[in-house]
Amino acid sequence: MSLVRRAVPADAREVLRLRQVMIDDLPGGDGSVDWHEESLPVLGARLGEADGDFAAFVVDHPERPGALAALAAGTVDYRIGKAGNPRGRSGYVFSVATDPGARRRGYARACMEELLEWFRERGAGQVMLTASAEAEPLYASLGFAHKPDPTMMLRL
């Protein structure tokens, strides 16, 4: 039996907690959780869409019933095809986190492996993510490589 399972709506609050752990570990993380309550109903609904374009895979915390130890979440979307991905299906990993008390046990890797399989099942020709320096060795061991992408962002 696998350690990893797909997150369900009842996991939404814990998924948000682990997302906050990830955010707080990044440069500029401010510890603000005032957005959680507004995000909770949307996340719960999305976790309930078994055939949707969003998935989160989790490991239950071995010492804290009801808590999660690790999370990997991502989406599949369509972008116009190109060489190497002619069908245009792309995966994007945007939340990978492990509870500080459950690190160095392989949970994030196990969650990522399930998420990557989910991307394959949906026909994604590529998977993208942004890696922290601490997480780069994990992603490199899974086959991810840097690309010269001058990504920019606009907040609306």
**Containing domain of residue 15, as a range?**
4-141
Residue-level pLDDT at 102: 95
Residue reference for tokens 């906050």: 20
Other Cβ atoms within 10 Å of 78 Cβ, number:
10
Residue 152 falls within a domain, yes or no? no
Residue 118 falls within a domain, yes or no? yes
Kindly tell me if the per-residue pLDDT of 146 is higher than 90. Answer: no
Q: How many domains does the chain have?
A: 1
Would you say the C-alpha torsion 24, 96, 104, 9 has a positive or negative sign?
positive
Residue-level pLDDT at 155: 74
Kindly tell me if the per-residue pLDDT of 1 is higher than 60. Answer: no
Residue-level pLDDT at 3: 94
Question: In this structure, what CATH number is given to the domain that contains residue 11?
Answer: 3.40.630.30
CB-based contact 112:136 (threshold 8 Å): no
Residue-level pLDDT at 65: 93
Q: What is the mean pLDDT of residues 108-124?
A: 96
Q: What is the mean pLDDT of residues 74-96?
A: 94
More confident call, 16 vs 24: 16
pLDDT band at 31 (very low <50, low <70, confident <90, very high): confident
